[in-house]
């Protein structure tokens, strides 16, 4: 008997996803991952706190950015939810009326965890490149590292990798010095996790209707 064909996931699948899951459509498949565990949330929240005042508010920095936590991005047929997304104000001076963003950000940050790192590095980076996102930061709270990527001729160029408690200037936010130690401050000693509320990430594929 032939295997039934699978249909691509639709936005209705995201609407129907449990509220405690982060739902994304990546290359036609619905991915659902649990809400971040404390170490992941700590790094993402600290990064928001550090970048918000100088770049979103213009306090101690140049301003000129809209920086949002977990924006829902509609990039063609893909629906992605990065940990952070940033738009230059000349491109997006106000947020859209729709409950999602069809305009690709200028910068995104993904905080990596064991359940999501492969998808973040492979599939999501490729989608961000196709959409024209100019910079991606990959934050690894286990290794205490920050990778800074810049889009160059359709490919990702690794600009720098920073570690631990370095004080760095990382583009596109190199107008200020960022103390990486703040991203890990208060984190418990390393162990086996969990890094999100539950592991592993769920991959959900709908069969085509009979």
How confident is the model over 139-188, as pLDDT tens digits? 999 999 999 999 999 999 999 999 999 999 999 999 999 999 999 999 87
The structural domains of the chain, with segments of one domain joined by +, span 36-197
Where are the extended beta strands (E) located within the chain?
21-26, 29-34, 65-69, 73-75, 78-80, 84-88, 107-111, 135-140, 145-152, 155-163, 167-168, 178-179, 202-204
The mean pLDDT of the chain is 88
CB 84 within 8 A of CB 69: yes
Supply 11's token pair.
Answer: 């936005």
- Element spanning 119, H or E: helix 117-119
Q: Cα(12)–Cα(196) distance, rounded to whole angstroms?
A: 25
CB 91 within 8 A of CB 106: yes
Predicted model pTM: 0.87
Class of domain 36-197: alpha beta
Does residue 50 have a pLDDT over 60?
A: yes
Supply 81's token pair.
Answer: 């939810």
């Amino acid at each position: 008997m032939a295997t039934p064909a699978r249909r691509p996931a639709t936005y209705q699948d995201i609407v129907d996803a449990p509220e405690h899951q982060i739902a994304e459509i990546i290359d036609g498949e619905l991915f659902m991952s649990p809400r971040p565990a404390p170490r992941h949330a700590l790094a993402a929240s600290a990064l928001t706190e550090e970048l918000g005042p100088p770049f979103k508010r213009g306090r101690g920095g140049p301003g000129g950015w809209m920086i949002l936590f977990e924006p829902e991005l509609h990039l063609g047929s893909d629906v992605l939810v990065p940990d952070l997304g940033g738009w230059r104000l000349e491109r997006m001076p106000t947020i859209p009326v729709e409950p999602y963003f069809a305009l690709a950000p200028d910068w995104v940050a993904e905080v990596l965890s064991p359940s999501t790192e492969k998808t973040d590095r492979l599939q999501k980076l490729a989608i961000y490149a196709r959409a024209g996102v100019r910079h991606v930061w990959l934050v690894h709270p286990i290794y205490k590292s920050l990778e800074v990527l810049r889009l160059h001729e359709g490919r990702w160029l690794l600009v720098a990798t920073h570690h631990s408690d370095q004080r760095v200037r990382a583009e596109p936010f190199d107008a200020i010095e960022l103390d990486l130690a703040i991203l890990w401050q208060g984190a418990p000693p390393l162990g086996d996790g969990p890094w999100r509320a539950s592991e592993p990430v769920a991959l959900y594929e709908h069969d085509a209707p009979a």
